[in-house]
């Protein structure tokens, strides 16, 4: 019996040592040999980005011209004053607006400039004196009696970053009251010229889902193209009837005169490339209905969505780049279906005869039937009035690029953008919302990438992906810091870099590879080896544990 006990003991030791070997050598070896290479990612910084704290700083300069302040008040002017607003947009998104207001009195030269006969000239003269940096706002307070502003106009916003504000007379009280009275007006000016809370929340719409946004802001943000490092603008002339119409369009000159100034102005936002083509026999997808009332063919607004499908197939994507394409189509209806008018939802004819589709582009119908009589010799050569066409396309382009229509508060006079197509402060507005949007998009991309990599344990993370993630994170941090410091131009640049790097990392081909088997398949391969090896070990360990228990209870029984 003693030998049997010894033998049993030996079996137990053997089983234990085999189990120890498997745990100490086998499992680490298996772990090591099946390990995938995963470069280290800055997870903590990414999770910091996830809870976004954005601070937007605007520099506002308030300049009092002669006659708006009494000498005592002038002496007491505070140099700077900062005002902060905080908004909790979402559980992990907080916005803080910081307005740094500087007060000073006008210099002699500025006084001269303000002495110009009209506001427009004064604006230009002030611009010549000094150029204010991107993102800042200068408000000149002029006496109430000034003839610069028309009757009933309180505020004039110029083409640059300056505004003229009509002061109130009888500011006899203390400086505090004067500033207090000016405060709300200046705030209105700043919101018009730099950003308002609704713009910024609209820019954050990707991040903040289901938040309460104003309808207009959302419509604007959905109509405009997503922020991208570049855009391809394509003008296409659709001539479905080359047998009757020989169309001439001077697109080269028109782009040079109308589109290029706007694009030059927008150069900091993105790179643009413009091209044009003529497509023959391109027909619309719906047959327009003949309306006897106006003796013309009409397209209703509901059918517009179907108009574009057959044309779209021929437009072609840009072969040379992967940037989004903005399409602007000029459709000249064929001789049998002229004239053609578009009707809106209220059954009224649209005066421009043009419509646009969000994030796609616009189409304009150009009727040529009044260029020739009924007995004309076909084909008729027709020269297209590019000024009319480009007016519409320019307006559509502004919409697509997200230059928001500002609805000025009452009493505001806005100077029209002039030949550049865009005023400086409109550009600033665009830059503010684009920077915020870029930061939001890039941080969402990086966060979801980090989540994905976290979820799939056996995906390989190469060094170049880690590098892209790193550069995206540093650019993001830099962009946030620049926004905080009020350097709008740098903020936009960093945010663009961040978006590029994050997209490159997210869409890296190595991250989507069929070589990553799911776990169940991997275990299907391992099971034939693992199961027969592990089951005896487990069983004998269980057996031993059972015996141990039994012996203990026996011992306890004996003791009792």
Partner 1 sequence: MAAYRYGPVLLLGFVALVSHFVSASTPNNLEDIREEPKSTDGTDSVLPERTDTRESNEFTPRQDGSAASPEALESGSRWAATEVDLDTVPLSGEKATGNLRDEAAEAFDSLRHQRYNDQFQEELVIRPLHSGDIYSSFQFRTRWDTDFFQKGKKVADYRLFPKSLGQVITKFSVRELHISFTQGFWRTMQWGQPFLSAPPGAELWVWFQDTVTDVDGAWKELTNVLSGIFCASLNFIDSTNTVQPSASFKPLGVGNVTNHKFLRYAVLPREIVCTENLTPWKKLLPCGSKTGLAVLLKSEKLFHSSFHSQAVHIRPVCQDWKCTSTAWELRQTLSVVFDLYTSGQSRREWSLFKMFSRTLTEACPLASSSKIYVDVTDNSQGELFELSPVSPILSQAVVLGDRRTYSVYDLMTPDTFGTLRSLNIQLRWKMMDVAEGLRPLLHGERYVAGYGLQTGEIHTLVYNNHPYRAFPVLLLDSVPWYLRLYVHTLTVTSKNRENKPSYIHYQPSKDRLRPHLLEMLIQLPPNSVTEVTVQFERALLKWTEYPPDPNHGFYAGSSVISGLVPSIVAMDTNSTQEGPLFSSFFPCKEESTYFVRVYTEPLLVNLPTPDFSMPYNVICLTCTVVAVGYGSLYNLLTRTFQVEEPGPGLAKRLANVIRRIRGVPLL
20-59 binders of partner 1 (CB under 8 A): none
Number of residues that bind partner 1 (CB under 8 A): 124
**Segment lying near partner 1 (by CB under 8 A), choices 88-96, 192-200, 289-297, 379-387:** 379-387
Which residue from 14, 20, 25, 294 is in contact with partner 1, where contact means CB under 8 A?
14
Q: Does 362 engage in binding with partner 1 (CB under 8 A)?
A: yes
Pairing relation of β-strands 361-365 and 354-357?
antiparallel
From 121-129, 141-149, 179-187, 437-445, give the range in contact with partner 1 by CB under 8 A: 437-445
* Distance of closest approach, residue 474 Cβ to partner 1, in angstroms: 20
Q: How far apart are CA 225 and CA 400, in angstroms?
A: 6
- Minimal distance, residue 331 CB to partner 1, in Å: 13
Q: How far is the CB of 241 from partner 1 (least distance, A)?
A: 9
Helices and strands (H, E) in the chain, number of each type:
18, 17
Residue 216 in tokens: 């207009």
Between 257 and 369, whose beta carbon lies closer to partner 1? 257
CB atoms inside a 10 Å sphere around CB 54: 21
The H-or-E segment that residue 325 falls in is strand 325-331
Q: Is 277 in the site for partner 1 (CB under 8 A)?
A: yes
Q: Which of 28, 253, 409, 457 binds partner 1 (CB under 8 A)?
A: 253
What is the spatial distance between Cα 467 and Cα 164, in angstroms, rounded to a whole number? 49
What is the closest distance, in whole angstroms, from the C-beta atom of residue 141 to partner 1 in the complex?
A: 28
Q: Which stretch binds partner 1 (CB under 8 A): 122-130, 253-261, 332-340, 475-483?
A: 253-261
391: contact with partner 1 by CB under 8 A: yes
Residue 379 makes contact with partner 1 by CB under 8 A = yes
DSSP state of 94: E
Query: Do 486 and 100 touch, CB atoms closer than 8 A?
Result: yes
Is position 386 an interface residue for partner 1 (rule: CB under 8 A)? Answer: yes
Among 18, 296, 413, 460, binds partner 1 (CB under 8 A): 18
Q: Name which position in 26, 67, 115, 261 contacts partner 1 (CB under 8 A).
A: 261
Question: What mask of x and - would describe binding to partner 1 in positions 313 to 352, judged by CB under 8 A?
Answer: xxxxxxxxxx-x-----------------x-x-----xxx
Q: Which is nearer to partner 1, 62 or 335 (CB)?
A: 335
Q: Which stretch binds partner 1 (CB under 8 A): 148-156, 288-296, 391-399, 484-492?
A: 391-399
What kind and span of H or E run contains 386? Answer: helix 386-400
Check residue 494 for interaction with partner 1 (CB under 8 A). Answer: no
Check if the beta carbon of residue 471 is closer than 8 Å to that of residue 414. Answer: no
| Shortest distance in whole angstroms from residue 324 CB to partner 1 | 7
Nearest to 530 by CA among 26, 35, 36: 26
- Scanning residues 163 to 222, which ones bind partner 1 (CB under 8 A)? 205-206, 208-210, 213, 215, 218-219, 221-222
Residue 267 C-beta: closest distance to partner 1, Å:
16
Interface with partner 1, residue 408, by CB under 8 A: no
Residues numbered 290 to 309 that lie near partner 1 (CB under 8 A) are 301, 304-306, 308-309
CB of 334 to partner 1, least distance (A): 12
Q: How far apart are CB 325 and partner 1 at their closest, in Å? A: 9
Q: Is 280 in the site for partner 1 (CB under 8 A)?
A: yes
| Residue 538 touches partner 1, criterion: CB under 8 A | no
Q: Which of 448, 464, 550, 553 binds partner 1 (CB under 8 A)?
A: 448
Q: Considering only residues 174, 408, 411, 418, which one is a binding residue for partner 1 as defined by CB under 8 A?
A: 418
| Sequence-ordered list of residues with C-beta below 8 angstroms from that of 339, at least 6 positions apart, any chain | 296, 297, 333, 367, 369, 370
Q: Residue 113 has which token pair?
A: 């400039």
For the record, the structure tokens of 365 come out as: 């119908």
Least separation in angstroms between residue 132's CB and partner 1 is 24
Q: Does 516 bind partner 1 (CB under 8 A)?
A: yes
Helix ranges (DSSP H) in 408-487: 424-455, 463-485
Q: Is residue 507 at the binding interface for partner 1, with CB under 8 A as the rule? A: yes
Tell me the CA distances in angstroms from 201 to 155, 184, 213, one per residue in order. Answer: 26, 22, 7
Please pick, from the candidates 33, 151, 509, 558, the single residue that binds partner 1 as defined by CB under 8 A. 509
**β-pairing, 52-64 with 137-142?**
parallel
Q: What Å distances lie between residue 5 and 8, 184, 319, CA to CA?
A: 5, 96, 83
How far CA 292 is from CA of 289, 298, 359, 365, in Å, comes to 10, 10, 35, 19
Vertex 39, ends 34 and 45: CA angle to 5°? 135
Q: For residue 187, what is the enclosing H or E element?
A: helix 175-193
Indicate whether 365 belongs to the interface with partner 1 (CB under 8 A).
no
Beta bridge pairs of residue 171? none
Residues 6+ apart with CB under 8 A from 195: 56, 58, 429, 432, 433
Q: Which residues contact 88 (CB under 8 A, 6 or more apart)?
A: 94
Q: Interface with partner 1 includes 419 (CB under 8 A)?
A: yes
Furthest CA-CA distance within the chain: 127
């Amino acid at each position: 019996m003693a030998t049997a006990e010894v033998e049993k003991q030996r079996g137990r030791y053997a089983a234990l040592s085999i189990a120890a070997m498997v745990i100490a050598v086998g499992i680490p070896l298996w772990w090591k040999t099946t390990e995938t290479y995963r470069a280290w990612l800055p997870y903590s910084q990414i999770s910091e980005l996830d809870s976004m704290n954005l601070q937007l700083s605007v520099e506002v300069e308030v300049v009092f011209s002669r006659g708006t302040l009494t000498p005592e008040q002038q002496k007491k002017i505070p140099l700077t004053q900062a005002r902060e607003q905080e908004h909790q947009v979402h559980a992990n998104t907080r916005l803080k607006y910081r307005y740094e207001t500087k007060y000073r009195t006008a210099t002699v030269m500025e006084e001269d400039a303000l002495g110009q006969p009209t506001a427009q000239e004064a604006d230009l003269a002030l611009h010549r004196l000094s150029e204010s940096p991107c993102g800042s706002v200068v408000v000149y307070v002029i006496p109430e009696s000034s003839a610069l502003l028309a009757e009933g106009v309180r505020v004039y916003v110029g083409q640059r970053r300056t505004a003229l504000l009509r002061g109130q007379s009888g500011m006899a009280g203390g400086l505090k009251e004067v500033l207090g009275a000016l405060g709300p007006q200046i705030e209105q000016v700043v919101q018009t010229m730099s950003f308002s809370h609704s713009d910024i929340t609209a820019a954050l719409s990707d991040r903040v889902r289901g938040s309460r946004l104003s309808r207009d802001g959302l419509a604007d943000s959905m109509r405009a193209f997503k922020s991208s490092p570049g855009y391809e603008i394509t003008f296409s002339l659709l001539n479905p009837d080359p047998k009757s119409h020989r169309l001439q369009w001077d697109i080269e000159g028109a782009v040079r005169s109308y589109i290029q100034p706007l694009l030059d102005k927008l150069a900091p936002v993105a790179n643009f490339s413009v091209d044009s083509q003529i497509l023959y026999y391109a027909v619309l997808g719906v047959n327009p209905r003949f309306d006897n009332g106006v003796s013309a063919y009409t397209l209703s607004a509901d059918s517009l969505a179907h108009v574009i499908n057959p044309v779209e197939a021929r437009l072609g994507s840009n072969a040379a780049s992967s940037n989004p394409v903005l399409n602007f189509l000029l459709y000249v209806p064929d001789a049998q279906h002229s004239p053609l008018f578009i009707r809106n939802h209220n059954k009224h004819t649209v005066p421009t005869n043009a419509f646009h589709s969000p994030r796609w582009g616009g189409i304009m119908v150009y009727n040529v039937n009044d260029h020739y009589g009924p007995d004309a010799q076909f084909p008729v050569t027709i020269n297209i009035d590019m000024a009319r066409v480009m007016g519409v396309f320019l307006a559509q382009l502004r919409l697509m690029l997200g230059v928001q229509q500002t609805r000025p508060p009452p009493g505001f006079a806005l100077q029209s953008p002039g030949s550049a197509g865009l005023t400086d402060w409109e550009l600033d507005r665009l830059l503010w919302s684009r920077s915020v949007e870029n930061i939001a998009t890039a941080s969402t991309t990086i966060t979801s990438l980090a989540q994905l990599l976290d979820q799939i344990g056996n995906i390989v993370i190469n060094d170049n992906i880690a590098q892209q993630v790193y550069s995206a994170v540093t650019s993001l941090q830099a962009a946030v810091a620049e926004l905080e410091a009020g350097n709008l131009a740098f903020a936009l640049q960093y945010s663009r870099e961040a978006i590029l790097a994050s997209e490159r990392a997210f869409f890296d081909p190595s991250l989507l590879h069929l070589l990553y088997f799911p776990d169940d398949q991997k275990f299907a391969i391992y099971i034939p080896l693992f199961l027969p090896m592990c089951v005896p070990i487990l069983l004998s360990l269980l057996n031993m544990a059972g015996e141990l228990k039994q012996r203990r209870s026996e011992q306890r029984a004996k003791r009792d």
